[in-house]
């Protein structure tokens, strides 16, 4: 499913550039994605669209997030640490954080791998029509051992 999401991000720079679900399903099949992965990705994106609609309605500038036991189990320590890092850096405001958490909880068979969580974060930015800055893109795509320190 995550391969499909990355493909969509790279191919359709904005969600409104995607064709309708039936045509998108055909295109993804033609590219070679498995039917189950396509179905899971499109269902996940439907949930993302619904969750993203609520972002504009929430206006909290600051908030304290306490994770439930289910969230702790589904996310794991590395993912929670990464979400906290993004929030403390000011690039993941509370409403967006809640969308990330909602979509991470929608993934079956947790805990969610950190690399998969990074894709979720990227897709949340994408769904809202926002481009993360270069440093955040670096955090989302470049493995720490591959980074060059100047």
Give the pLDDT of residue 72: 93
- Which pLDDT does position 149 carry in this prediction? 46
- Inform me whether the pLDDT recorded for 143 exceeds 60: no
Q: Under a CB-based contact definition with an 8 Å cutoff, are residues 43 and 103 in contact? A: no
Averaged pLDDT score across all residues of the chain: 84
pLDDT category, 148, cuts 50, 70, 90? very low
Count up the domains in the chain and report the number: 1
Structural domain span for residue 111: 2-146
Start-end of H helices in 32-148: 35-53, 69-88, 94-105, 114-127, 134-141
- How large a percentage of the chain has pLDDT more than 70? 83
Task: Write the pLDDT tens digit of every residue in 5-60.
Answer: 989 988 887 777 888 888 999 999 999 999 999 999 999 998 998 888 876 555 45
DSSP 23-51: HHHHHHHHHT--HHHHHHHHHHHHHHHHH
* pLDDT score for 134: 67
pTM assigned to the model: 0.79
Q: What is the pLDDT of residue 61?
A: 55
The confidence score (pLDDT) of residue 20 equals 87
């Amino acid at each position: 499913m995550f391969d499909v999401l990355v493909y969509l991000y790279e191919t359709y720079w904005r969600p409104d550039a995607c064709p309708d679900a039936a045509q998108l399903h055909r295109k993804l099949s033609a590219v070679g994605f498995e039917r189950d992965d396509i179905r899971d990705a499109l269902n996940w994106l439907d949930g993302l669209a619904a969750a993203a609609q609520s972002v504009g309605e929430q206006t909290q500038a600051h908030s304290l997030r306490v994770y439930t036991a289910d969230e702790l189990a589904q996310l794991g320590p590395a993912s929670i640490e990464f979400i906290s890092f993004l929030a403390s850096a000011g690039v993941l405001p509370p409403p967006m954080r809640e969308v990330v958490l909602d979509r991470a909880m929608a993934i079956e068979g947790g805990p969610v791998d950190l690399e998969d969580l990074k894709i979720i974060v990227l897709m949340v930015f994408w769904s809202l029509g926002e481009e993360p800055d270069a440093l955040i893109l670096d955090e989302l795509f470049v493995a720490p051992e591959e980074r060059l320190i100047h």
